[in-house]
């Protein structure tokens, strides 16, 4: 099964968004998911008296973890080794793929069950495994649906959020040769997936999962899930491989608690997910079960360059998804419009920083700057501020100044010369009133088709703000 | 990939200013983690009686809690509940439960891998955490797979093993010495919301979770 998208996505956020707005299935799915996350989170934080303090605490943990990141990584590595595991370091996605494939081949693995891993998605692990003759088997229900559909996740917590129940039904009917059966209820779908995937857990040669946190104190990887697939993937095969990134470190178990207390509440409105599991090394002779081999592959992919930069705070992210659940842009156009495994506000910041592709420059502009993302982020990442910095960077670096850059530059100059500004606005208004004749609205505006395509622009009358102000104050005494 | 390792650590070191050699890591880590900022911030939820809060929170998260007096009542409770179940039940027991020589008459116990419908797991938790109604199981006491493969998971927990907040569970864990390979926290039955964000109980793990509270000396 391949995860390659059937069509190459459009290289342009605006074009992709327009298509998303016209996609009825997507709009139906977004509608259904929409406010659920928001209400559940709100209810969860209202059940306790001090959520704001918990956020502060979580943020402090992230700050401390990054401040001595190298020390914590080294301590983590040593503890993993002491517990019979191995740590591998990958600078690039390519290196991570090579390492994981090497580990699978050393085991002669034919199949690998997979728990959800955004880092695995970031490095396109599934395609690489397939090409190397190892069949990746997604086990998280959302990821499994996407594997059948040959699609990418559209949300970091609910990967198949863009799929409707009807779409999942047809995927199951097309892919499971199970004859006539009812699949109308969500329960039918979940039961069928459970039955189909159960044997795979028991037979897989390798299990590959992500990690939500790495606890430096003891070399422990923590994973939070609700379905139980992550644990079956981590526990049953003889080899467990974790694909994760260097920024997931927290110093101690107490620090892990500080993150756990905000993670579930922010993500799904749960005070804790059904399963929180802590894996330390390989099975020892005292353990009743567990894998004989344990490997953690740590991805950098430019994260270390963000440390100490003006974007460092992005490394605080604990991947809860709250920012996208509360983002009007994400809610309108869905995750695929961002053409990245990291969508929404966090993706609009992270994607340009990690991927450095030309098309990513549009992402920091995919925001209304309403500020809801920052106000719900459990570790208080100033997402709009970071997007603004990226916009500035893009404009500084733009090889050819765009029309909008020129316009802004022109405005900056003009605004510093009041007389010229007044003359010019006066002139333009005259010009405008000549063009419009007796019209009260413009249907098209030169250089502003993005605005006028979907709405008319009201034609100004009675002169500029400044000239009107002067007119009015001629006759009034201002005190 | 040793080169990747040192290049990544070098880049991080440029920002942290850290230069560590293998001998000083442990001491520096201990020194740093001891200058932690103050006491932990725990959720304000009026937690005064851990057993009462545990019961309430576990219930809210979808587990059924039964109040028993002692371990010897566990098998009778199972017999009573199996009668209501629709399928024949096979009982998969954790080593700690097997070691208790209980009266299993009328109950079909097995050591096979739990598979088909009707598999029940009976295990004893190491610790209960009131804060979230969570039970903690350790892979050097109970195979982790057993917790996930059965259809219905019955967790016996002694009231004296229930603590208030997560930090107390960490203390108990660290006091035991070397960590087991897997520490499992379980809060209610498995679930998914991956289809149209509707919560469906019973994903890949147990569809039902029962917590039996007992007293132990
Ligand atoms: S940026 Fe904040 S809100 Fe968004 S996923 Fe990361 S932690 Fe959650």
Does ipTM exceed 0.90?
yes
- Judge whether A187 lies within some domain: yes
- Position A390 in a domain: no
What's residue B190's pLDDT? Answer: 93
**CA atoms within 13 Å, Cβ hemisphere of B49:** 4
A188 touches chain B (CB under 8 A): no
Answer yes or no: is A405 within a domain: no
Q: What is the DSSP string of A175-239?
A: H----S----SHHHHHHHHHHHHHHHHHH-SEEEE--SEEETTTTEEEEEESSSHHHHHHHSSSE
- Say whether pLDDT at B36 is over 80: no
Range of the domain at A436: 417-472
Kindly give the number of the ligand 1 atom that is closest to the alpha carbon of A376.
Answer: 3
Q: Are A359 and A13 in contact (CB under 8 A)?
A: yes
Distances (CA, A) of B98 to A186, A204, B103, B206: 38, 29, 11, 21
Would residue A268 count as lying in a domain? Answer: yes
| Residue of A59, A71, A194 to mutate for B, most B C-beta atoms under 10 A | A71
Determine phi and psi for A65, rounding to 5 degrees. -60, -40
For the cut 50, the answer to whether the pLDDT of residue A4 exceeds it is no
Distance CA B130, CA A397 (A): 54
Q: Do A69 and B206 touch (CB under 8 A)?
A: no
Residue A163 inside a domain? The answer is yes
Confidence label for B198 from pLDDT (cuts 50, 70 and 90): confident
Confidence of residue A135 (pLDDT cuts 50, 70, 90): very high
Asked if residue A262 and residue A132 are part of one domain, the reply reads yes
Write down which residue in A251, A271, A305 finishes a domain: A305
Higher pLDDT, B37 or B177: B177
pLDDT for A2 equals 40
Domain count, chain A: 2
Q: Which residues contact B81 (CB under 8 A, 6 or more apart)?
A: B210
Q: Looking at residues B63-91, what average pLDDT do you find?
A: 90
CATH number of the domain at A119, please: 3.40.50.10420
List the one residue out of B186, B191, B81, B201 whose CA is nearest residue B123: B186
| Residue where one domain finishes, among candidates A305, A337, A365 | A305
Q: How far apart are CA A406 and CA A400, in angstroms?
A: 10
3-state secondary structure of B65: strand
Q: Which of A305, A320, A343 is the last residue of a domain?
A: A305
Give the count of alpha carbons within 13 A of A265, CB side only.
26
Statement: residue A427 has pLDDT above 50: no
Domain-located, residue A385: no
| DSSP for residue B177 | S
* Ligand 1 atom closest to residue A320's alpha carbon, by position in its atom list: 8
Q: CA end-to-end span of chain A, whole Å?
A: 76
Residue A464 reports pLDDT greater than 50: yes
Alpha carbons A227 and A246: distance in angstroms, whole number: 26
Question: For residue A456, what pLDDT is reported?
Answer: 52
B106-160: per-residue pLDDT in tens?
Answer: 999 988 878 767 899 999 999 999 999 999 999 999 999 999 999 999 999 999 9
| Residue B196 pLDDT greater than 90, yes or no | no
Question: What's the rounded mean pLDDT across residues B52-81?
Answer: 96
Q: Which of A71, A142, A284 sits opposite B28 (nearest CB)?
A: A71
* Three-class secondary structure of residue A427 per DSSP: helix
- Residues A246, A303: contact at Cβ < 8 Å? yes
Mean per-residue pLDDT of chain A: 86
Structure tokens at A477: 């005494």
Residue A452 lies inside a defined structural domain of this protein? yes
- A162-212, pLDDT tens digit by residue? 999 999 999 999 999 998 899 999 999 999 999 999 989 999 999 999 999
Encoded tokens for A393: 């960077």
Nearest CA in chain B to A251: B33
- What is the spatial distance between Cα B161 and Cα A261, in angstroms, rounded to a whole number? 22
A424 and A300 housed in the same domain: no
Q: Which two tokens stand for residue B39?
A: 């006491």
Q: Determine, yes or no, domain membership for A432.
A: yes
Of ligand 1's listed atoms, the one at least distance from the Cα of A321 is: 5
Residues A294 and A427 in one domain: no
Q: How far is A317 from chain B (nearest CA, A)?
A: 18
| Per-residue pLDDT at A477 | 45
Query: What pLDDT, on the 0 to 100 scale, is given for residue B195?
Result: 87
What sign results for the dihedral spanned by CA atoms A113, A116, A119, A121?
A: positive
Residue A479 confidence class, pLDDT cut points 50, 70, 90: very low
Could you give the percent of chain B with pLDDT greater than 70? Answer: 95
Residue with CA closest to ligand 1 atom 7: A317
A252 and A124, same structural domain?
yes
- CB contacts, 8 Å: B206 with chain A: 228
| CATH number corresponding to B50-214 | 3.40.50.10420
Give the pLDDT band of residue A28 (cuts 50, 70, 90).
confident
Do the bridges between strand A220-225 and strand B134-138 make them parallel or antiparallel, or are there none, so unpaired? unpaired
Domain boundaries, chain B: 4-36, 50-214
């Amino acid at each position: 099964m391949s995860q390659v998208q059937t069509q190459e996505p459009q290289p342009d956020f605006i074009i992709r968004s327009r298509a998303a707005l016209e996609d009825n299935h997507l709009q139906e799915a977004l509608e259904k998911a929409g406010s659920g996350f928001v209400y559940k989170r709100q209810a969860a934080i209202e059940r306790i008296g001090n959520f704001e303090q918990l956020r502060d605490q979580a943020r402090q943990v992230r700050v401390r973890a990054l401040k001595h990141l190298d020390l914590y990584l080294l301590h983590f590595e040593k503890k993993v080794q002491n517990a019979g595991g191995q740590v591998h370091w990958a600078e690039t996605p390519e290196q991570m793929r090579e390492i994981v494939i090497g580990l699978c081949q050393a085991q002669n693995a034919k199949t690998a069950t997979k728990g959800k891993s955004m880092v695995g998605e970031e490095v396109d692990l599934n395609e690489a495994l397939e090409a190397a003759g190892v069949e990746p088997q997604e086990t998280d229900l959302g990821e499994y649906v996407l594997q059948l559909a040959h699609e990418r996740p559209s949300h970091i917590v609910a990967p198949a959020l863009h799929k409707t129940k009807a779409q999942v039904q047809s995927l199951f009917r097309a892919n499971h040769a199970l004859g006539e059966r009812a699949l109308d209820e969500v329960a039918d779908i979940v039961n069928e997936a459970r039955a189909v995937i159960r044997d795979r857990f028991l037979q897989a040669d390798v299990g590959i999962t992500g990690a939500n946190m790495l606890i430096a104190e003891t070399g422990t990887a923590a994973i939070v899930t609700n379905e139980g697939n992550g644990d079956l993937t981590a526990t049953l095969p003889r080899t467990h491989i974790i694909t994760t990134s260097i920024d997931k470190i927290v110093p101690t178990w107490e620090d892990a608690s500080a993150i756990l207390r905000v993670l579930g509440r922010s993500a799904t409105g749960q005070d804790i997910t059904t399963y929180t599991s802590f894996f330390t090394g390989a099975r020892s002779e005292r353990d009743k079960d567990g894998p004989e081999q344990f490997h953690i592959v740590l991805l950098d992919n430019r994260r270390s360059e963000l440390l100490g930069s003006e974007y460092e705070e992005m490394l605080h992210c604990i991947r809860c998804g709250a920012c996208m659940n509360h983002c009007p842009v994400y809610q309108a156009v869905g995750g695929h419009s961002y053409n990245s495994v990291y969508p929404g506000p966090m993706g609009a910041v992270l994607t340009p920083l990690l991927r450095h592709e030309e098309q990513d420059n549009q992402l920091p502009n995919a925001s209304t700057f309403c500020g809801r993302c920052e106000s719900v982020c459990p570790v208080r990442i100033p997402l709009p501020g970071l997007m603004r910095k990226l916009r500035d960077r893009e404009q500084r670096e733009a090889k050819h100044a765009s029309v909008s850059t020129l316009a802004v530059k022109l405005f900056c100059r003009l605004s510093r010369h009041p007389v010229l500004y007044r003359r010019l606005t006066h002139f333009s208004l005259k010009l405008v009133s000549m063009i419009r004749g007796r019209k009260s609205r413009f249907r098209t505006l030169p250089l502003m088709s993005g605005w006028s395509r979907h709405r008319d622009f009201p034609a100004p009358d009675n002169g500029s703000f400044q000239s009107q102000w002067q007119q009015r104050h001629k006759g009034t005494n201002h005190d | 990939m040793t080169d990747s390792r040192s290049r990544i650590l070098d880049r991080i070191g440029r920002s942290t200013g850290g230069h560590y050699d293998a001998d000083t890591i442990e001491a520096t880590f201990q020194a740093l983690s001891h200058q932690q900022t103050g006491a932990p911030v725990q959720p304000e939820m009026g937690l005064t009686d851990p057993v009462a809060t545990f019961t309430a929170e576990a219930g809210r998260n979808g587990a059924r809690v039964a109040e028993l007096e002692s371990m010897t009542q566990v098998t009778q409770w199972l017999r009573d509940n199996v009668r209501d179940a629709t399928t024949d039940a096979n009982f998969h027991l954790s080593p700690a439960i097997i070691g208790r020589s209980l009266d299993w008459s009328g109950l079909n116990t097995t050591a096979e891998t739990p598979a088909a419908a009707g598999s029940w797991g009976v295990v004893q938790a190491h610790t209960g955490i009131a804060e979230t109604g969570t039970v903690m199981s350790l892979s050097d006491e109970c195979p982790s797979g057993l917790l996930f493969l059965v259809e219905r998971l019955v967790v016996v927990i002694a009231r004296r093993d229930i603590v208030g907040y997560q930090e107390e569970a960490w203390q108990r864990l660290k006091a035991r010495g070397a960590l087991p390979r897997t520490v499992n926290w379980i809060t209610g039955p498995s679930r998914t919301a991956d289809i149209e964000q509707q919560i469906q109980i019973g994903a890949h793990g147990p569809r039902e979770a029962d917590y039996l509270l007992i007293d132990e000396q």
